[in-house]
Structure 1
Amino acid sequence: MTGHPMRTRQIPNQRVACKRNGPMKRIVNRNTWTWSLVALSCISLMLGQLPAWAFGPPQSQQPDSSLQPVLPITDVVLDASGRLVGQIVDQQGTPRHGLVVVLRQGRREVARTVTDSEGRFALSNIPVGLYQLDAGSTRAIYRVWTTQTAPPRSHHQAVLVAETETVVRGNHIEAAVDQLDAITLAMVSSSIAAVTIAGVTLDKVNDLEDKVNALSGGGGTPASP
């Protein structure tokens, strides 16, 4: 009689222990793993967004501080004989003698000449249109007109201010086109260290700078290329 109640008291205890150590424990463990996986997933998603928060927009969307504005376009009128005339001077207004002047449309060379003792030049048989004029390290964009079609405020000659010192250019290369029409200009300047007055310098003008340096360094009268 005395042992039987003790067995009845042990049975509930064993059942309670079974409940605590059996299915309920497995349920608790399952829930713990579930919440752990959810937490890890959330952390992974958050970490995946950290680069965007830390570094801002992609590099392609950030403005390039080295980009220079597009060159302005100047209207100039051909003379009565259809020549494009102009003058090249330095910062002090002194004429640049013997400087190579190249007229281009995109990368296509249209005409080339050398300035005289007064820094003047003339390019013959130039059709109307949009051109880029290179003189030393300086480049300017001109829209060429005839006297009959020119706007009222067009210039009668192209005047450029060319540096006398050697200009060190950046490593960027302009995006140029082969042909420029009379309306649009598809050119982007990315030169970093170039210093200009008539505008901003663009890419290397083939062997133009070497010729200009040779002409400027020599004391005699340069010959036309």
Structure 2
Amino acid sequence: MKEKILALLQAKFAGVRKDGLNHLARSLALQATNEEEASALIEKLTKEQVETFVKEYRAEVDKEVSEGNKTFETNLKKKFDLVERKAQEPGSGEQETKNDDGTTDIATMIKNAIAEAVKPLQTELEKYKAGDIAKTRLQTLNEKLAACKDDNFKAQTLKDFQRMQFDSDEAFTEYLTEKETAISMANQNMANAALGGHGKPIFAQKTETGISKGVADYVESKKTESNELSGKEV
């Protein structure tokens, strides 16, 4: 019923605020049980009556909104421990935020208070992010060191890494490239040291005749066996 009454009101009183007519339709709907009764009620209304009703309705609404805003500001001040600051001394650099009408800019005060409240959380998040980056970089370095054969080199590299700081990802990438080259050199040194620790092969040791010592010893042993056999009686 209210919607039908609202449609009739809008048709008869065009140009009047819809929210006011909607409130009036709600009131009339309580007095009319059918469309005929509703039409009869609307016919009795004049434009002046309707405009006065809507004006009074809007005044009440605006008053409630204003009081609600004041209550909201008061609660926010209590919640965030906000108080209007006294004028600061000249040269202090701090001035109370004011609107054009001289009232306190509560929105700015709330914004500043929230920023101050979340500052510790932001600091913690930045620390967490930095720690996560360091963990990822250490993992990447360990992957590169997995190919290193020199355990001492690996241990020293990891020890030094704990004391290092990188200003950017590019700086870390440059460090990693240099470390890859160092790993290759360390592996080569390990290989050279391993080869240097082995003696020369037996057959590589040659006599003055140019024959390897191993071959010469073998031939000499065969000669001895031949002489022993030739000296026996058959």
TM-score normalised by the chain length of structure 1:
0.29
Q: Greater CA radius of gyration, 1 or 2? A: 2
The answer to which structure has the higher strand fraction is 1
The answer to which structure has the higher helix fraction is 2
